Amino acid sequence: MKWFFLMLLAVLPSLAIQAQRETESDEAPLLKTSQGIRFQKDSLYSINMRFRMQNRFFYESEDGANLTPSSLGFLVRRLRFRLDGFLFDPRLAYYIQLSFSRNDLGLTNSDVAEPIRDAMIYYHFSPKFYIGFGQGKLPGNRQRVVSSGNLQLPERSPVNNLLTLDRDVGAFFYASLPLGQQVFRLKGAISSGEGRNALPRDAGLAYTLRAEWLPFGAFKNNGDYSEGALEGEDKPKVSIAVGGHFNQWAIRQAGTHGMEMQSAADFQALFADIAFKYKGWSLMSEAIYKTGNLPAASAVLPIFGQGLLVQAGKMLGNKTELVLRWAQFVPNSSVKLAYLQRSQSGLGFNWYFQGHRIKSQLFFGYEQLGTRWDLNHTGNQWVGQFQVEFGI
């Protein structure tokens, strides 16, 4: 598998594949955009500056039968600052993203703040093929690669939070091959496997590959990586993707993120997802399976399991949207004593004042911990979130 990725990276630049210049906002710099504050000096450099914040009110009940709050309050969920553009040559681009909110600094499982979200340098060989070097999102499950600013609901699903690949440091490639009306995309990475801002630990690396097929052509405004149906597709559009990931000698419980284990473990992951949009309807579903070997000795066990997410939305007008979500995580038998099954069902409602840049979101759902849906079962609870997003 290691040699396959190395050969693939060596061969791709010699192919007559032409690669897209503007793609998903978390996978490439925005070289041409009307958003943000932009400075440009001929072909010497360009700087595009943007910010966004997510201010949230949250609620969690004591259990399913008792709506008394166990947790209630306000927080700044995310505060991000982003710079992107090019230097000396439009083919040589960069993308920097920093986080400032305490809830966005990785302090849940560490005492060290992690303000650097993305620090990428890109080189475009052609409009349809480019490579990247630095720290960014691995080309894993769709909901993770979708920017948190382009989500239909205030937070990603529990399936993503437990099983996603997240960010890492390494070398990336992105290629697009139009074939008539259809579009094929191939994305891959060779990375450290330790996650963002991690110290070098061992000789183990991570290898990730993702393939996408868009049988009816590209979505409007790259809408396959923006949840909801704001683009108003007048013809059905579908994106189907599959991928795999191998992480050797990972030290964190989820491979690239989570609490540290006392000894290393190997991770393997498979994922598949689909995005569909048509006349105000949207559907996104993804499945992830992650497994591997258990560490030799560790009080913290790796998160091995399988997850399924189904999320659908309907635009009720030009500015409002109704969203439904169901998600479930089931741990592997090897770690079921450490991790319980989790499910989430919920309903959301969105008001889009200026697309995804300025919006308010309301979500109310029921979360199950374990295999029982009983309202009074320990760990089961009602959750609510109201969030306002504001940015450029």
Q: Tell me the C-alpha to C-alpha distance, in Å, between residue 183 and each of 214, 227, 279.
A: 5, 20, 21
Task: Please name each of the domains of the chain with its CATH number.
Answer: 2-391 (2.40.160.10)
Quick one: pLDDT at residue 34?
62
The mean pLDDT of the chain is 90
Q: What's the pLDDT tens digit per position in 275-311?
A: 999 999 999 999 999 999 999 888 999 999 999 999 9
Q: pTM higher than 0.75 for the full model?
A: yes
Q: What is the mean pLDDT of residues 170-197?
A: 94
State how far the Cα of 367 lies from the Cα of 380, in Å rounded to an integer.
6
pLDDT of residue 16: 32
Whether the Cβ atoms of residue 190 and residue 205 lie closer than 8 Å to each other: yes
Q: Are 391 and 50 in contact (CB under 8 A)?
A: yes
Q: What is the pLDDT of residue 2?
A: 52
SS (H, E, C) 139-183: CCCHHHHCCHHHCCCCCCCHHHHHHCCCEEEEEEEEEEEEECCEE
Alpha helices in the chain (DSSP H): 2-11, 142-145, 158-163
